[in-house]
């Protein structure tokens, strides 16, 4: 794993740029643990103060320091994105590996379920979920629902790799040596799909964050929990752009764009690393 990281960082500019950018975003999120204010404290500071030495990112109309609110917001948004991606990776790995290795009726049943989730319109389902569960709405429930809706595309990709691994000689040797199906999938096949899982995880985090921002801006989430979308929601509620309070919009939007670009570059670089021809091309050009 360290050797792979070293090769990517030294020979792939997209990965190195993306890695530095995501470290910056994580650094901003880590500052939330040193905040002098609570995540939901309001009207503690003079409202609508522009960026200055005292308030580097200004203050909001709710009397909050924009910088410290942003640290909580990006932390919660990242936690949400990573949680959705982790849970959906577990489902996609299980379905993809089992379906690709066992084949037959198991494959047909699992892929029928998989294709059902592929064609489900995700956003309307999430909006409907909000209106049904509005009184009991919380981020844990939303995380689980999004994870259950966001695994299908990647499961089919993992299945295609597992189907090719099933016919390899080392798989036949594992069967003859008495290894169980679980051992074959976890010890023999899983390492081959991990690079693909890393790439799809970055894309899934981007998708999760994008959905969170969209739902929060529309007010279809728990808006009392600071997130990037929540910051934009409150800025919109206070007509910040009309009032000239541009910093309330600008800094959360800029940070989430940096996050999107960083994760995209990491995903693209991993896709190139998986392809041997692209990897050799990068190494020869470096």
Identify whether 166 is part of a domain. Answer: yes
Instruction: Return d(Cα 169, Cα 190) in angstroms, integer.
Output: 16
Total domain count, the chain: 2
Rounded CA gap, 138 and 234, in Å? 18
Query: Within this chain, do residues 28 and 82 fall inside the same structural domain, yes or no?
Result: no
Same domain, 75 and 179: yes
In a domain, 93, yes or no: yes
Q: What is the pTM of this model?
A: 0.88
The rounded average pLDDT for each run of 10 residues, N- to C-terminus, in the chain (286 residues) is 69 87 96 92 92 94 95 95 94 93 91 89 84 79 89 90 88 87 88 85 91 89 88 93 92 96 89 61 52
In a domain, 24, yes or no: yes
Evaluate whether residue 251 is within a structural domain. no
Provide the domain limits for residue 9.
Answer: 1-34
CA gap 264, 18 in Å, rounded: 8
Answer whether residue 233 is part of any domain. no
Question: Is residue 279 a part of any domain in this protein?
Answer: no
Nearest CA among 212, 258, 198 for reference residue 4 = 198
Residue 44 located in a structural domain? no
Out of 226, 241, 269, a domain closes at 226
Which of 226, 253, 276 is the last residue in one of the domains?
Answer: 226
* Residue 130 and residue 206 share a domain: yes
Residue 38: left if φ>0, alpha if ψ -120 to 50, beta else—which one? beta
Q: Tokens for 134?
A: 């509005």
Residues 10 and 72 in one domain: no
**Are 94 and 24 contained in the same domain?**
no
Reading the block at residue 147, the tokens are: 């994870």
CATH code: domain of residue 134: 1.10.3720.10
The residue among 206, 226, 246 that closes a domain is 226
65, β-bridge pairs: 59
Do 169 and 28 lie in one domain? The reply is no
C-alpha span between 218 and 156 (Å, rounded): 32
What CA–CA distance (Å, rounded) separates 136 from 219?
15
Same domain (yes/no): 17, 102: no
Tell whether 77 and 145 lie within a shared domain. Answer: yes
Structure tokens at 164: 């090719």
> What gap in Å lies between CA 272 and CA 282, rounded to an integer?
9
Domain identity same for 24 and 112: no
Q: Crossing angle of helices 247-274/228-237, nearest 10°?
A: 150
Residues 22 and 101 in one domain: no
The answer on 74 and 159 residing in a single domain is yes
Claim to verify: residue 83 and residue 184 sit in the same structural domain = yes
């Amino acid at each position: 794993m360290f050797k792979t990281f070293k090769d990517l960082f030294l020979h792939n500019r997209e990965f190195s740029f993306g890695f530095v950018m995501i470290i910056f975003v994580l650094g901003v999120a880590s500052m939330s643990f040193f905040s002098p204010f609570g995540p939901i404290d309001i009207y503690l500071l003079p409202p609508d103060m522009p960026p200055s030495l005292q308030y580097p990112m200004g203050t909001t109309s709710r009397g909050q320091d924009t910088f410290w609110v942003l640290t909580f917001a990006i932390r919660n948004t990242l936690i949400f994105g990573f949680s959705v991606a982790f849970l959906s990776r577990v489902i996609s790995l299980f379905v993809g590996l089992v379906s690709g290795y066992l084949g037959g009726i198991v494959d047909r049943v699992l892929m029928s379920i998989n294709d059902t989730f592929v064609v489900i319109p995700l956003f309307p389902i999430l909006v409907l979920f909000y209106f049904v569960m509005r009184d009991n709405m919380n981020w844990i429930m939303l995380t689980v629902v999004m994870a259950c809706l966001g695994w299908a595309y990647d499961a089919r990709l993992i299945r295609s790799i597992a189907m090719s691994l099933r016919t390899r000689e080392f798989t036949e040797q594992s069967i003859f040596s008495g290894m169980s199906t679980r051992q074959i999938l976890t010890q023999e096949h899983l390492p081959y799909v991990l690079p693909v899982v890393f790439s799809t995880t970055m894309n899934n985090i981007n998708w999760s964050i994008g959905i969170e921002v969209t739902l929060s801006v529309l007010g279809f989430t728990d808006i009392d929990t600071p997130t990037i979308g929540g910051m934009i929601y409150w800025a919109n509620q206070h007509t910040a752009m009309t009032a000239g309070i541009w910093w309330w919009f600008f800094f959360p939007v800029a940070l989430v764009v940096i996050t999107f670009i960083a994760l995209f570059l990491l995903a693209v670089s991993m896709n190139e690393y998986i392809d041997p021809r692209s990897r050799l091309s990068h190494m020869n050009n470096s």
